[in-house]
Amino acid sequence: MHWAYWNPVRIRFGAGLFDEVAGLIGNRRWALVTYDQPIFRELSARLARTAGEPVATITNIETNPDCADLVTSCRLFGAAAQRAEVIVALGGGSMIDAAKVLAASGGDFETVRRHLVEKTPLAANAIVPIIAVPTTAGTGSEVTSWATVWDSANGSKYSLAHPGLYPETAVLDPALTVGAPRGLTLATGLDALSHALESIWNVNGNPVSANYAVEAAREIIETLPRLLDRLDDVELRARQARASLLAGLAFSNTKTALAHNISYDITLKTGTVHGIACSFSLPIVMGWAMGAQSQCDAALRRIFGSDLHAGAERLTAFLQDLGVDTDPSAYGVSPGEWDRLVEKALEGERGRNFIGRQAAKAA
């Protein structure tokens, strides 16, 4: 068996580390990508007091970065009187993904559009470095080299990917996640669980990614239900943030698999938030993965115990206890539509990563 693992992101983890970001910027001109919300305006001002004012502040992205909004974001970024030498992404995965688009754009979204649609290569030496400061615990975007770009007007989703888009540094300050409401905490937590499991039943899986994934999944299953009942518990926030980071380190080398490919159409058609859309099908997909590969089964047993069928049932109960329906019909998908959706997803980029393709096709 041949395998390799690589992740170049420098990671800083711990409460209070937001105050280190100014030092990481140094003397460089910087741009900020964040939310236009009171708490983020406060954090932005706090950072500017020590790092100096940013040359550009981009605040027009909310969730699921869309081509229509990114055109404006890139224009604002390119219109800065001085070119940014580093981008600080402060917020959830959407902010970090948007920062990656800006970093690759040269101030013009058309550069990114041509890359996504026409496969025009990006100029690696023109990509602006990123300091990622996540304020949610789920996406893992702070340690990956890709970003999800949505084109809702045309019912499409793209993945922007380039080795130069790994952030240079990820600063994970669990204290920044304390204000996340229950719904966001649930969705991002389940997104992280999906990343962990999808990196296990994956053709690109390896021993290093599996170790990260097993630890992440076990921690999320233990921590997330408790956290949802105690949203202000900083220790539980830190455990969830660490688990999300480990899941990110796992799938940074494997990418995701079938459950994620299924989720894209669910989100585009029904608006179901990503973390729910990519996790409700996990027990079904786990059933298709079991028995397909000994290494996968061994990793899943470290999470769910020796009886994987019982483990899949426990995963179903775990999701349902959190209020997540695991029946596709709950998301407006009839049995016939589900079969067509799975068949389509199996041929998608992420679906082709799934080790249980034959079992899924036969189901």
String of b and e for 242-260 (b: at least 16 CB within 10 Å)? bbbbbbbbbbbbbbbbbbb
- Distance CA(256)–CA(263), nearest Å, equals 11
Query: How confident is the prediction along the chain (363 residues), in pLDDT tens digits per residue?
Result: 789 999 999 999 999 999 999 999 999 999 999 999 999 999 999 999 999 999 999 999 988 899 999 999 999 999 999 999 999 999 999 999 999 999 999 999 999 999 999 999 999 999 999 999 999 999 999 999 999 999 989 988 899 999 999 999 999 999 999 999 999 999 999 999 999 999 999 999 999 999 999 999 999 999 999 999 999 999 999 999 999 999 999 999 999 999 999 999 999 889 999 999 999 999 999 999 999 999 999 999 999 999 999 999 999 999 999 999 999 999 999 999 999 999 999 999 999 999 999 999 998
**Which part of the chain is CATH 3.40.50.1970?**
10-175
Q: What is the pLDDT of residue 63?
A: 87
Place of tokens 């041509």: 114
Q: What is the pLDDT of residue 363?
A: 86
Q: Quick one: 13 exposed, middle or buried, by C-beta within 10 A (0-12, 13-18, 19+)?
A: middle
**Which part of the chain is CATH 1.20.1090.10?**
186-230+237-362
- Residue 267: both structure tokens together: 């989100």
Q: What is the pLDDT of residue 212?
A: 98
| Domain 186-230+237-362 top-level CATH class | mainly alpha
What are the percentages of helix, strand and coil residues in the chain, rounded to 5? 60, 10, 30
pLDDT tens-digit map of 296-309: 999 999 999 999 99
Q: Please, which residues have CB within 8 angstroms of residue 48's CB and are 6 or more apart in sequence? A: 54
Q: What is the pLDDT of residue 232?
A: 96
Q: What is the pLDDT of residue 317?
A: 98
- pTM for this model (two decimals): 0.96
* Phi/psi of residue 138, nearest 5 degrees: -170, -45
Please report how many Cα atoms fall inside a 13 Å half-sphere around the Cα of residue 94, on the Cβ side.
21
Q: What is the pLDDT of residue 62?
A: 84
Q: What is the pLDDT of residue 178?
A: 96
CATH second-level architecture of 10-175?
3-Layer(aba) Sandwich (3.40)
pLDDT tens-digit map of 19-72: 999 999 999 999 999 999 999 999 999 999 999 999 999 999 988 899 999 999
Q: What is the pLDDT of residue 169?
A: 98
Beta bridge partners of 88: 32, 131
Please report how many Cα atoms fall inside a 13 Å half-sphere around the Cα of residue 102, on the Cβ side.
39
Which residue type is seen at 88?
Answer: V
- Distance CA(15)–CA(260), nearest Å, equals 31
- Distance CA(245)–CA(240), nearest Å, equals 9
